[in-house]
Amino acid sequence: MSVFLSSAALVQQRTSKVARVYLSLGSNIDPEANLRIGVDELRRRYGDVRLSDTYQSAAVGFEGADFLNLVAALDTDDSPARIHKRIEAIHGMAGRARATDRFSSRPLDIDLLLYDDLILNEPPLCLPRSDILKYSFVLRPLAELVPDLVHPETGRTISDHWLEFDKHRQPLVRVDLSL
């Protein structure tokens, strides 16, 4: 069963329920160092963080250096709004300044993909994040971590989505990176 809440309710509500959260992390400016900053800060703030493998992919929507990307899974009782604030603080630690152009190089990009089976569409919090089904660098590492997870909007498993994804359109290369 999916849950719908207003962003105002999410900001004020802090339940004792622990949610399973999935985040995508990417970087194309000093990516190894900046991904380490991101993962280290997530571990410092949330404890145990499971990581997918890391994948290299071409920049999408602009000309730029290749990105390194991965997906992280963690459990938290933080609200989505609180997680969003923490993500923005981690971006700042990596030296990211919000550009007006969404498609540009960046030292670190962390996006909240899923918060249990919550469906929310109140920007900046849109869950599940549409990037899951759009980009191989999000879908493949998520399918690696939780192949049997059911997408809250489609009702299909993440592995089913990955099996049907056009992998030639957005090729990935697995990178050996210890985080």
Query: What is the structure's pLDDT at 104?
Result: 67
Distance CA 109, CA 177 (A): 17
Contact 113, 137 (CB under 8 A): no
- Tens place of pLDDT for every residue, the chain, 179 residues? 444 544 444 444 444 699 999 999 999 999 999 999 999 999 999 999 999 999 999 998 888 899 999 999 999 999 999 999 999 999 988 877 665 556 668 899 999 999 999 999 998 899 999 999 999 999 999 999 999 999 999 999 999 999 999 999 999 999 999 99
Q: pLDDT value at position 99?
A: 58
Tell me the CA distances in angstroms from 10 to 5, 6, 13, 15, 174, one per residue in order: 7, 6, 5, 10, 36
Separation CA 68–CA 153 (nearest Å): 27
Q: Do 107 and 29 meet the contact criterion of CB atoms below 8 Å apart?
A: yes
Backbone angles phi, psi at 4, to 5 degrees: -115, 125
Q: Distances in Å between the alpha carbon of 154 and those of 117, 128, 158, 161?
A: 11, 10, 10, 9
Q: What value, to the nearest 5°, has the Cα angle with vertex 101 and ends 96 and 107?
A: 25
Q: What is the pLDDT of residue 94?
A: 87
pLDDT in the model for residue 98 = 62
Tell me the pTM. Answer: 0.88
- Segments making up each domain of the chain, as ranges: 7-174
User: Which CATH number among 2.40.110.10, 3.90.330.10, 3.30.70.560, 3.40.50.2300 corresponds to the domain 7-174?
Assistant: 3.30.70.560
Picking from 67, 70, 59, 55, the residue whose alpha carbon sits closest to that of residue 29 is 67
